[in-house]
Amino acid sequence: MTTRFLLLLLLFFLLSLSFFHLYSKDWDGPWKLPFRTSDILPLIPFSALRPILSSVYSAVDLLPTFVGSVSSPENSLEWKGACFYNNSAWMEFHNKSKSPYGGGTLHLKVSNAHSWTCLDLYAFATPFHLTWDYYFLSREHTIEFHEWEGEAEYEYVKHHGVSIFLMKSGMLGTLRALWDVFPLFTNTGWGENSNVNFLKKHMGAKFEERPEPWFSTINVDDIHSGDFLVLSKIRGRWGGFETLEKWVTGAYGGHSAVCLKDSDGKLWVAESGHANDKGEDIIAILPWEEWWSFELNKDDSDPHIALLPLHPNLRAKFNNSAAWEYARSLDGKPYGYHNMIFSWIDTTSGNYPPPLDAQLVASGMILWSKVMPDYAANLWNEALNKRLGTEDLDLPDIIVETEQRGSSFAKLLAMPEQDDWIYSDGSSTSCVAFILQMYKHAGLFDPISTSIQVTEFTIKDAYTLNFFENNSSRLPEWCNKEDSVKLPFCQIKGKYRMELPDYNTIQPYPHMNEKCPSLPPNYDRPIYC
């Protein structure tokens, strides 16, 4: 599950940074002021800042700079900032919280400012925490980590330290604005209420309570190969991660899995993004009983789960042996991160809810690659290189190369993923791409399957396909049995009634979802995008 946390962190970064346009050129404006423009920028209101910034900085200059990481009082780090030329930092562990792993204090000493108006803005990151601060005065400052999230964070900080990034000072305005707009990110915990409130406020989700029991008593005879499972997690870091994913993509679910029956009639669940014993996210085929008992009893993210039975016509079309063949060929392979982000970026500006944009994505990628180099080595670079037709360029080089070709990073991100691209660790399948690829093999997209790129589909794109049962009298009798409101699908777990707007409505068409914008709060979708 660790890697999911990292994705969370990335999104968190994306939200925590600023937004600028990439294609700015150096510019000598009419600024004859007694201080450097870049020093005074943080003091200007943010709305006025944006046009100035995009003309002052060039793309690569805007990216955050990794200055290093600190893990103990013994090895202090020293560096030169943009404003303060003499800085040092060290880490002290403490147990003020009286918790199993204690917490820590990061000390920073900044001095030798080059001008009286300048300041330095920093982000501090572990895979579990992100915070930021800015320094105006020469003195010692501290960043408090009251309590580590658990053994994983404690061990991480002991061995790898807290990563420190120097940000462009112009980002201060956005950081402040974000903190006000998105209370989710100010809460230290990813409590259920912060997730629910965020989704209510920013997506218009309802979260109506349903009558108990909050789980179905299921007869597995009524479940068939190809039936789709939508999961929506609302508590803990998984919940926090999914909340961001939902908000960005407009999906009312954050994870998905698919049912498969074998030739003996035994029911299985195939899932891309299953956490194995070692904490890695893999593709797995699990017996239904094992999967369901985990979701009922052990999953601490309070998963809400809906079963979407295939329409009988599609069930008849579903080639079960081809589906199994596909699932077995990927069993045990790593979850696909390469293309995850590309499934929601289709247009250069229609997929970024403010204040996200391509620049921010680039900043997030840079931060990520420093906090988790083992995982990040090829995370997006490989996918971006494929789009450019290059090999082994790192992110800043990719941006430079893109601009030299007269294009922009935003356009590069918007280029559609090709399902047949093979990455160094195999083909890349996110949870929903895995299921739709299986549908493709099983013949559900025939006769247009060659012009469907499933990596372009989000979870919402999957549940809005008109593939599912549309006659409520054919739903299993245990389906929504205790609920007074009859949903068109079977919600099998969860306190709140699940919503899947536009469920089961869209007939697939060639090049579906390759050019769709997705902007909150309405996520309007042009037909045939």
Ligand X SMILES: *[C@@H]1O[C@H](CO)[C@@H](O)[C@H](O)[C@H]1NC(C)=O
Q: How far is the CB of 295 from ligand X (least distance, A)?
A: 30
Supply 140's token pair: 């010692």
User: Does residue number 208 form part of the binding site for ligand X (CB under 6 A)?
Assistant: no
User: Does residue number 75 form part of the binding site for ligand X (CB under 6 A)?
Assistant: no
Residue at token pair 């289709």: 346
Q: How far is the CB of 374 from ligand X (least distance, A)?
A: 25
Q: How far is the CB of 457 from ligand X (least distance, A)?
A: 20
Piece in contact with ligand X (CB under 6 A), picked from 106-114, 120-128, 274-282, 337-345 = 106-114
Q: How far apart are the first and last CA of the chain?
A: 34
Residue from 473, 477, 484, 526 that binds ligand X (CB under 6 A)? 473
Query: b/e string for 55-66 if b means 16 or more Cβ within 10 A?
Result: bbbbbeebbbbb
User: Does residue number 507 form part of the binding site for ligand X (CB under 6 A)?
Assistant: no
Q: How far is the CB of 490 from ligand X (least distance, A)?
A: 16
465 close to 504: Cβ distance less than 8 angstroms: yes
111 close to 84: Cβ distance less than 8 angstroms: yes
How many helices (H) and strands (E) the chain has is answered by: 17, 16
Q: How far is the CB of 102 from ligand X (least distance, A)?
A: 4
Q: What does R_g of the chain's alpha carbons equal in angstroms?
A: 24
Residue from 319, 348, 390, 449 that binds ligand X (CB under 6 A)? 319
Supply 404's token pair: 């030299």
Could you give the string, one character per residue 164-203, with x where binding to ligand X holds by CB under 6 A and - elsewhere? ----------------------------------------
Helix or strand run (H / E) with residue 388:
helix 381-388
Q: Which is nearer to ligand X, 42 or 226 (CB)?
A: 226
Residue from 200, 266, 328, 474 that binds ligand X (CB under 6 A)? 474
Residues within window 86-105 making contact with ligand X, judged by CB under 6 A:
86, 88, 95, 98, 100-102
Q: How far is the CB of 104 from ligand X (least distance, A)?
A: 10
Residue 493 C-alpha from the chain's centroid: 24
Q: How far is the CB of 135 from ligand X (least distance, A)?
A: 14
Cα 481 to Cα 224: distance, rounded to the nearest angstrom: 19
Q: How far is the CB of 76 from ligand X (least distance, A)?
A: 9
User: Does residue number 451 form part of the binding site for ligand X (CB under 6 A)?
Assistant: no
| Residue-level length of the chain | 529
Q: How far is the CB of 321 from ligand X (least distance, A)?
A: 5
User: Does residue number 321 form part of the binding site for ligand X (CB under 6 A)?
Assistant: yes
Q: Which is nearer to ligand X, 443 or 520 (CB)?
A: 443
Cα 339 to Cα 422: distance, rounded to the nearest angstrom: 11
User: Does residue number 112 form part of the binding site for ligand X (CB under 6 A)?
Assistant: yes
Q: Which is nearer to ligand X, 67 or 184 (CB)?
A: 67
Supply 199's token pair: 């989704």
Instruction: Answer positive or negative: Cα dihedral of 498, 502, 504, 508.
Output: negative
Helices 172-181 and 2-16: crossing angle, nearest 10°? 110
Piece in contact with ligand X (CB under 6 A), picked from 120-128, 320-328, 358-366, 387-395 = 320-328
Helices 236-249 and 2-16: crossing angle, nearest 10°? 50
**Which of 260, 259, 256 minimizes the C-alpha distance to 245?**
256
User: Does residue number 72 form part of the binding site for ligand X (CB under 6 A)?
Assistant: no
DSSP secondary structure string for all residues of 480-501 = TTT-SS--SSEEEE-SBPP--T
Supply 460's token pair: 């919402």
Beta-sheet strand order (sheet of 281-287)? 281-287, 267-275, 255-261, 228-232, 304-308, 490-493
Q: How far is the CB of 442 from ligand X (least distance, A)?
A: 8
Residue from 322, 393, 400, 415 that binds ligand X (CB under 6 A)? 322
Q: How far is the CB of 471 from ligand X (least distance, A)?
A: 4
Residue from 74, 471, 486, 526 that binds ligand X (CB under 6 A)? 471
Residue 340 C-alpha from the chain's centroid: 8
Map residue 465 onto helix, strand or coil: strand
Q: Which is nearer to ligand X, 450 or 470 (CB)?
A: 470
Residue from 138, 276, 451, 470 that binds ligand X (CB under 6 A)? 470
User: Does residue number 139 form part of the binding site for ligand X (CB under 6 A)?
Assistant: no
Q: How far is the CB of 153 from ligand X (least distance, A)?
A: 12
Size of the site for ligand X (CB under 6 A): 18
Q: How far is the CB of 95 from ligand X (least distance, A)?
A: 4
The strand pairing partners of 229, in sequence order, are: 257, 307
User: Does residue number 76 form part of the binding site for ligand X (CB under 6 A)?
Assistant: no
DSSP class of 222? G
User: Does residue number 325 form part of the binding site for ligand X (CB under 6 A)?
Assistant: yes
Cα 441 to Cα 259: distance, rounded to the nearest angstrom: 15
Could you give the string, one character per residue 264-303, with x where binding to ligand X holds by CB under 6 A and - elsewhere? ----------------------------------------
Query: b/e string for 88-114 if b means 16 or more Cβ within 10 A?
Result: ebbbebeeeeeeebbbbbbbbbbeebe
Piece in contact with ligand X (CB under 6 A), picked from 4-12, 205-213, 469-477, 489-497 = 469-477
Task: Please report, as ranges, the residues that interact with ligand X according to CB under 6 A.
Answer: 86, 88, 95, 98, 100-102, 109, 111-112, 319, 321-322, 325, 470-471, 473-474
